[in-house]
Structure 1
Amino acid sequence: MGSSEERVVAVIMVGGPTKGTRFRPLSLNIPKPLFPLAGQPMVHHPISACKKIPNLAQIYLVGFYEEREFALYVSSISNELKVPVRYLREDKPHGSAGGLYNFRDLIMEDSPSHIFLLNCDVCCSFPLPEMLEAHRTYGGMGTILVIKVSAESASQFGELVADPDTNELLHYTEKPETFVSDRINCGVYVFTPEIFTAIQDVSSQRKDRANLRRISSFEALQSATRSLPTDFVRLDQDILSPLAGKKQLYTYETMDFWEQIKTPGMSLKCSGLYLAQFRFTSPHLLAGGDGSKTATIVDDVYIHPSAKVHPTAKIGPNVSISANARIGPGKCSCHSFNCRVEVFHWEMVPCPG
């Protein structure tokens, strides 16, 4: 275990309005990270998981959205969790690793011994304390959360090979054309501050190559202008792949659920996964968990405290009812094809079943 003096910070990448277009139309009126899943904003789930990290000093959200879009939520969640949460807006795209490096001075203000990096559009149980403990055992610069998937779906993600005895990352390739492994990158990491040196090295090497091209020939110059900016560094291709097999990176495999939240359809599935998780982590959030008999509740259901549900209504399974919603008498809400559910307006109809 680490010293009680050690401090940890977490960085959650939230993207921006030019990203996540596959999530439309759900993200047209609300930033994708604030879209509700299981009654909570999408970004709330990784933030809540970060709260469980020992010696957590700060949580940063990094993205391209205007600061005003996150101001109210950041203030609210900071007060709720009693942990400082701060939104950092990128001036331009820097890549997943470059975005981290761009705010290195702020991130290192608390002199953290470890830095968690999470992608917002990931749905899982976020075993962050367990990852940190495993990372301290492994040593090295970083540990990656991985999961086993079907061979057919693996190619949609970053595939990796790890040593079965030491869990060292031996090989990493992003969305390969041919099958490499059924273990994939979950988009959740813990690093030591050495990650900043690794990112700086990539940026410096890119600058050196660009300078060589400029003085070689006009044709080479044309090629250089089409290459990536020197301060744009991708975590997968530029950091993970080159450092694999060098005793710097390790893996921690989760046996729990994991999904990427890329499409509107996935939001329904992931909402159900989080509701099911509430049974074990936050039963008080589920309707009926306090023993009340306000309506007929079927399986996992979240009802916001400000919502009004008639006692004769039937709700569930896997349903979240948002703030100030009104559910009338004899109405039914469920995730079946016989009942209609709209994202920002619930249309409750008599259940044919």
Structure 2
Amino acid sequence: MKIIIPMAGRGSRLRPHTLTTPKPLIPIAGKPIVHRLVEDIAKVSSEKIEEIAFVIGDFGAEVEADLIAIAEKLGAKGTICHQLEPLGTAHSIWMAKEALDGPVVVAYADTLFRADFKLDMESDGVVWVKQVENPSAFGVVKLDENEVITDFVEKPQEFVSDLAIIGIYFFRDGQKLYKEIEHIIDNNITVGGEYQLTDALETMRAKGDQFTLGKVDEWMDCGNKAVTVDTNSRVLNLDKEDYSTVNPNAVVENSLIIPPCYIGDGVVIKNSKIGPNVSLGNGTKVECSNIDNSLIQENSIIANANLTDSMIGNNAKYYGVSRSISLGDYSELDFKSHEA
């Protein structure tokens, strides 16, 4: 089986964090979003993952190497494909068209999920969905009495279904999807100037392919700062046993750690209270601070702070007061110096 991960978007809603790090590489509980995503897919599939094709923008050689390493950790070949223009969901998949062969999973790298089922490899296709309270904000599916999809509806203004498409799909025959996307692009079939995957899905359905549901128990968004911090907390709590102890290479002096927390390699914590629901990336130093429900990345310095519901990037410095903040990579805020 092959996996295609379209992830060329700018991640503008998660700025300033995505100005220096592509959103799918933002760590959640110490592991990049895209790494967790492919692991989640592997857990529901009985098939060996042969290749993971990452569709990216101009992210640079270091990011490309990181993605190849993620694939290799799962025993798969990593392939880098480029989408340099935002021409739609179908177009992003088309950039990895060489991988559209045999069983294929397409997963957009801005969401995480948990599911308690095994992927039906005999189905023509599977569309992952989650029941939501406000379906007008999502693409949704309509079903028949056998829970086979009869229609794909984009952001319905009147209620037709509350089963939202979360952006993960399985195709038993990737060549069928290849032909439909090729037809869309060759004939310039667009919506709002973009080539849409739902047009290909609807054509495949009309030709007789039956799409069934992959229902998820947890659907966790990583679209902006608030929901990313919440997703970090949810992952920590879903895997409490994994986050109940402190990394043996961390230094903790005169401090209280309230699990679940992710404490990375080389973290130093002094005279502080950390947790619950906190991730501290490798090499981060915290002193004389209280932190809960927050996501702090690598090699940052936090001192004299009371932080909650906060997200701080890599190599950042924060000296300060009580607040919920979003501080990007290589940034510094020093409220004590302003008070002096």
Runs of 4+ in 1 over 6 A off after TM superposition: 226-229, 348-351
Q: Give the 3-state SS of the residue equivalent to 1:270 in structure 2.
A: helix
C-alpha spacing 1:45/1:271, structure 2 compared with 1 (3 Å): same
2:264 aligned partner? 304
Does residue 293 of structure 2 align to residue 335 of structure 1?
yes
Aligned 8 A contact 1:67 1:89 in 2 = no
Aligned 8 A contact 1:16 1:65 in 2 = no
1:73 aligned partner? 66
1:244 shift after superposition: 4.3
1:215 aligned partner? none
Q: Give the 3-state SS of the residue equivalent to 1:178 in structure 2.
A: coil
Structure 2 CA distance for aligned equivalents of residues 267 and 346 of structure 1: 20
Matches within 5 A, 1:220-235: 233-235=195-197
C-alpha spacing 1:130/1:96, structure 2 compared with 1 (3 Å): same
Does residue 303 of structure 2 align to residue 322 of structure 1?
no
Structure 1 CA distance for aligned equivalents of residues 290 and 320 of structure 2: 6
Matches within 5 A, 1:1-353: 8-17=1-10, 20-52=11-43, 53=45, 54-105=47-98, 107-108=99-100, 112-125=101-114, 130-131=118-119, 134-136=120-122, 139-140=123-124, 142-150=125-133, 153-165=134-146, 167-191=147-171, 192-193=173-174, 194-204=176-186, 206=187, 233-236=195-198, 238-244=199-205, 247-279=208-240, 283-288=241-246, 294=252, 295-310=255-270, 312-328=271-287, 331-335=289-293, 339=307, 341-344=310-313, 345=316, 347=318
Structure 1 CA distance for aligned equivalents of residues 284 and 306 of structure 2: 21
Structure 1 CA distance for aligned equivalents of residues 56 and 292 of structure 2: 34
Q: Give the 3-state SS of the residue equivalent to 2:118 in structure 1.
A: helix
Quote the sequence identity (%). 22
RMSD between superposed Cα atoms in Å? 3.2
Q: Give the 3-state SS of the residue equivalent to 2:17 in structure 1.
A: coil
C-alpha spacing 1:227/1:121, structure 2 compared with 1 (3 Å): closer
- Stretch moving more, 80-89 or 27-36: 80-89
Aligned 8 A contact 2:5 2:54 in 1 = yes
Structure 2 CA distance for aligned equivalents of residues 289 and 162 of structure 1: 47
1:313 shift after superposition: 3.1
Structure 2 CA distance for aligned equivalents of residues 203 and 293 of structure 1: 56
1:214 aligned partner? none
1:175 shift after superposition: 0.9
Greater Rg by CA? 1
C-alpha spacing 1:149/1:245, structure 2 compared with 1 (3 Å): farther
C-alpha spacing 1:314/1:164, structure 2 compared with 1 (3 Å): farther
Q: Give the 3-state SS of the residue equivalent to 1:71 in structure 2.
A: helix
C-alpha spacing 1:95/1:56, structure 2 compared with 1 (3 Å): same
Aligned 8 A contact 1:333 1:348 in 2 = no
Q: Give the 3-state SS of the residue equivalent to 1:130 in structure 2.
A: coil
C-alpha spacing 1:40/1:113, structure 2 compared with 1 (3 Å): same
Aligned 8 A contact 2:81 2:95 in 1 = no
1:255 shift after superposition: 4.4
C-alpha spacing 1:342/1:235, structure 2 compared with 1 (3 Å): closer
Q: Give the 3-state SS of the residue equivalent to 1:43 in structure 2.
A: helix
Aligned 8 A contact 2:105 2:170 in 1 = yes
C-alpha spacing 1:143/1:50, structure 2 compared with 1 (3 Å): closer
Aligned 8 A contact 2:50 2:77 in 1 = yes
**Uncovered stretches (5+) of structure 1, i.e. residues with no partner:** 1-7, 210-225
Structure 1 CA distance for aligned equivalents of residues 180 and 311 of structure 2: 46
- The C-alpha deviation readout for 1:254-277, integer Å capped at 9, x for no partner, is 241113322211111111122122
**Uncovered stretches (5+) of structure 2, i.e. residues with no partner:** 295-304, 323-340
Aligned 8 A contact 2:289 2:306 in 1 = no
TM-score (norm 1): 0.75
By percentage of residues, which structure has more strand? 2
Q: Which has the higher contact order (CA 8 A, sep 6+)?
A: 1
Aligned 8 A contact 1:332 1:348 in 2 = no
By percentage of residues, which structure has more helix? 1
- The C-alpha deviation readout for 1:36-66, integer Å capped at 9, x for no partner, is 2222222221122244442110111102233
